[in-house]
Amino acid sequence: MNRFLLTSVFCLLTSAVFARINVVTLPGRDTVQLTIYNSADLTLVKETRLLTFRKGLNKLEFSWANTLIDPTSVEFRPLTHADAVEVLDVSFPPRVTNTLEWRIHSEFAGEVQVEIRYFTSGISWSADYVAAANKPEKLMALAGNVRVNNNSGEDYENAQIRLVVGVIRLVEEIRQLAQQGRPGAQPPPANESPRLAPQAMRKIAFAMDAAAGAAEARPREIIKEGVSEYFLYTVEGRDTIPNGWAKRLPSFQTADVPFVSYYKFERERYGDQVIRYYRFKNDKASKLGDEPLPDGSVLALRTVTPDNLFNFVGRTNVKYIPIGEQVELELGNDREVMVKPTLQDWRKEDIRFDQWGNVAGWTIKEQWQFEVQNSKDIDVVLDIRRNFAGDWELKSESKYENVDKAKVKFVLPLKSREKQKFTYELTTRYGTNVTR
């Protein structure tokens, strides 16, 4: 973390009068901690330093050339002798950027440990997973990793790293604030109460750590805390991440997670394709459920030989999964499961006329047949959804479920190599025939 340390001039000016200026060059930070949020370009940096104060008024200058620090975020706080040290004000001097000066009143003369906190941009993190299914696609080994990317322009050395899983809201971009070099004018706040436009929301990364399963040489302990709506992962020890580098850390590894090979067919959503999902639950029964799973990319594989050779199944992104929630890894079209709907009969009947003899009401009757076939060597579950509009009625011998007023769902477990057929009759009323 220290190119930036060197470029920062950190000096301590004592007494308001400039007659006696006590410039203290600091011996670097004592500690540095990074709290990294991912989809918001935001990292909270906390550093501690040891300063020597005089009694009375002290001036403390802090500057940060060539960094991405948000000048409105820099805060000072005494850690020791906190009752004796008070910040009077913060000044951003004229005509210079990336510099501020605290005026600090101290009742104490001597060494004080202080904390300086600020936001920077350019550091991000993300999660990724490898899901390895067994041959019958009943169990899988799930491994999670976190990856930290440093494009902040600074090398961070010996930093404690914390990763936040959660979505916080930012009303201004940190990078933009940083580029101004000093606090600019606040835009007028929107007059209405905040509208919940999803695009405006920022996503925060999740971190997961946890040294599970795999026998790492020296697995690092990772402390997990639930904080408000977030999960906070603290990576044990200190890490060094030079600028431009990324670092991937294993987060967890769990074997024998039970899952279902689940197939979906819905014309309005996927066209004629049948889409494969691996479906499992983030809970104890599935050997998971200790923590939410952050959204991230997933590589899905399937063991095909006794000596654990893999087939590539698919690559996808997974949503954030709370503890206890069901996961569906969307793995793309699988042509080994077929759904073929056929309209077998179509009738227009029950015609009504208006006073001028024009057609005013009619009813359409449709007879549909569905052929489904599982060509795979494993059992699957197939989920077929149909959407209807208007005043409709459905008759079928097969079991179905009304999802809402315009959607029904047929769920069919299919054994390996199994074929099935089912039919339904749809009656739709139009014009004056409409009854509801």
Partner 1 sequence: MKMKTLWFLASLVCVSIPAHARVKLVALPERARVVVSLAHPDATLVEEERILTLQKGVNKVDFSWAGVNIDPGSIQIRMLSHPDKVPVLNTSYPPNENALVWEISSPAAQEERVRISYLLSGLNRDIVYRAVAEPDEKAMTLRNYLRLRNDSGEDLTDAEIGIGYGADFKKSIAAGEILEMQSEKIDAMPISKILTWDAATLPWDPEYEKTTVGIPLSYVFTNSPPKLGTHTLLPGKARIFIRTGDNVAFTGEDWVQLTPVDRETKLYIGQSRDVKVTQRKVKEDKQNMRRNTGNAVVLWDTDEELKIEIENFKKDDVNLVIVEHIPGYWKQIKSSHEFVKKDAFTIEYRLTLPKESTGNKKTTVNLNYQRLNVQGNEPASY
Distance CA 17, CA 171 (A): 40
> Is position 230 an interface residue for partner 1 (rule: CB under 8 A)?
yes
> Is position 170 an interface residue for partner 1 (rule: CB under 8 A)?
yes
Of 106-165, binders to partner 1 (CB under 8 A) are 117, 119, 162, 164
Q: What is the CA radius of gyration of the chain?
A: 31
What minimum distance in Å lies between the beta carbon of 303 and partner 1?
A: 28
> Is position 44 an interface residue for partner 1 (rule: CB under 8 A)?
yes
Of 87-106, binders to partner 1 (CB under 8 A) are 87-95
Closest by CA position to 236, among listed 246, 223, 224: 223
279 neighbors 112 (Cβ within 8 angstroms): no
* C-alpha triplet 114, 49, 31: angle, nearest 5°: 110
* Backbone torsions φ then ψ of 71, nearest 5 degrees: -65, -25
> Is position 227 an interface residue for partner 1 (rule: CB under 8 A)?
yes
> Is position 394 an interface residue for partner 1 (rule: CB under 8 A)?
no
What minimum distance in Å lies between the beta carbon of 250 and partner 1?
A: 23
Taking the least distance from each CB to partner 1, the nearer of 27 and 198 is 198
Stretch that binds partner 1, among 50-58, 135-143, 242-250, 351-359 (CB under 8 A): 351-359
> Is position 275 an interface residue for partner 1 (rule: CB under 8 A)?
no
Of 171-190, binders to partner 1 (CB under 8 A) are 171-172, 182-183, 185-186, 188-190
Of 364-393, binders to partner 1 (CB under 8 A) are none
Q: Which of 354, 371, 377, 401 binds partner 1 (CB under 8 A)?
A: 354
> Is position 324 an interface residue for partner 1 (rule: CB under 8 A)?
yes
Q: Which pairs count as long-range contacts for 95-99, CB under 8 Å and 24+ apart, including other chains? A: 96/63, 97/180, 97/181, 97/182, 98/63, 98/64, 98/65, 98/67, 98/69, 98/71, 98/181, 98/182, 99/61, 99/62, 99/63, 99/64
> Is position 236 an interface residue for partner 1 (rule: CB under 8 A)?
no
What minimum distance in Å lies between the beta carbon of 144 and partner 1?
A: 16
> Is position 224 an interface residue for partner 1 (rule: CB under 8 A)?
no
> Is position 344 an interface residue for partner 1 (rule: CB under 8 A)?
no
> Is position 359 an interface residue for partner 1 (rule: CB under 8 A)?
no
Query: At 338, which helix (H) or strand (E)?
Result: strand 337-353
> Is position 320 an interface residue for partner 1 (rule: CB under 8 A)?
yes
If binding means CB under 8 A, how many residues of this protein chain bind partner 1? 76
Chain mean position to CA 407: 30
> Is position 166 an interface residue for partner 1 (rule: CB under 8 A)?
yes
- The string of DSSP letters for 358-409 reads -EEEEEEEEEEEEEEEE-SSS-EEEEEEEE--SEEEEEESS--EEEETTEEE
> Is position 258 an interface residue for partner 1 (rule: CB under 8 A)?
no
Torsion of CA 295, 300, 303, 307, to 10 degrees: -80
> Is position 35 an interface residue for partner 1 (rule: CB under 8 A)?
yes
